[in-house]
Amino acid sequence: MPIDFRPAWMNGELETYRDTVSRFIESEMLPDDEAARARGHVGHALWRRAGELGLLCSDIPEAWGGGGGDFRHEAVFYDQMARRGLTGMSPSVHSIVAHYLLNHGTEAQKRSYLPRLARGELVGAIAMTEPGAGSDLQGIRTRAERRGDHYVINGSKTFISNGFLAGLVLVVAKTDPAQGARGTSILIVETEGAAGYRVGRVLDKIGLKAQDTSELFFDDVTVPAENLLGGEAGRGFAQLMSDLPYERTIIGVLAVAAMEGAYEATLDYVRSRTAFGRPVAEFQNTKFRLAEIATVTKVGRTFVDRCVAELVAGTLDTATASMVKLWASEQQCKVIDECVQLHGGYGYMNEYLVARMYADARVQRIYGGTNEIMKEVISRAL
Interhelix angle 71-82/91-104, nearest 10 degrees: 160
The residue from 134, 230, 300, 347 that contacts ligand FAD (CB under 6 A) is 134
For 335-370, b/e burial (b = at least 16 CB within 10 A) is bbebbbebbeeebeeeebbbbbbbbbbbbbbebbbb
Q: Which is nearer to ligand FAD, 186 or 290 (CB)?
A: 186
Residue 166 contacts ligand FAD per CB under 6 A: no
Say if CB 206 and CB 355 are below 8 A apart: no
Distance CA 276, CA 189 (A): 61
The single residue of 74, 130, 215, 247 carrying the catalytic annotation is 247
Q: Single out the residue of 29, 55, 208, 216 in contact with ligand FAD (rule: CB under 6 A).
A: 208
Closest CA to 164 of 123, 214, 206: 214
Q: Is 247 a catalytic residue?
A: yes
78-117 footprint of ligand FAD as x/- string (CB under 6 A): ---------------x------------------------
Using only C-alpha atoms, the chain has a radius of gyration, in whole angstroms, of 21
Query: Which residue, 135 or 350, is less far from ligand FAD as judged by CB?
Result: 135
How far apart are CB 148 and ligand FAD at their closest, in Å?
A: 29
Part in contact with ligand FAD (CB under 6 A); list of ranges 127-135, 187-195, 215-223, 299-307: 127-135
Closest distance to ligand FAD from the beta carbon of 149 (Å): 28
CA distance 56 to 33: 19
Q: How many residues are given for the chain?
A: 382
Report the residue from 363, 364, 374, 377 that binds ligand FAD according to the rule CB under 6 A: 363
The answer to whether 201 contacts ligand FAD (rule: CB under 6 A) is no
Count the site residues for ligand FAD by CB under 6 A: 21
Q: What are phi and psi of 186, to 5 degrees?
A: -115, 125
Cα–Cα–Cα angle for 352, 36, 167, rounded to 5 degrees = 140
Answer whether 25's CB lies under 8 Å from 41's CB: no
* Sequence-ordered list of residues with C-beta below 8 angstroms from that of 178, at least 6 positions apart, any chain: none
Choose which of 160, 173, 354, 361 interacts with ligand FAD (CB under 6 A): 160
Separation CA 10–CA 18 (nearest Å): 10
Q: Which stretch binds ligand FAD (CB under 6 A): 216-224, 229-237, 289-297, 360-368?
A: 360-368
| Region of 15-23, 52-60, 230-238, 367-375 interacting with ligand FAD (CB under 6 A) | 367-375
Report the phi/psi class of residue 172: left, alpha or beta, with left for phi > 0 and alpha for psi in -120 to 50: beta
Considering beta carbons, is residue 54 or 369 the nearer one to ligand FAD? 369
The one among 16, 135, 295, 315 contacting ligand FAD by CB under 6 A: 135
Which of 92, 184, 213, 297 binds ligand FAD (CB under 6 A)? It is 213
**Which positions touch ligand FAD (CB under 6 A)?**
93, 126-129, 134-135, 159-161, 205, 208, 213, 363, 366-367, 369-370, 372-373, 376
What residues are labeled active site?
A: 247
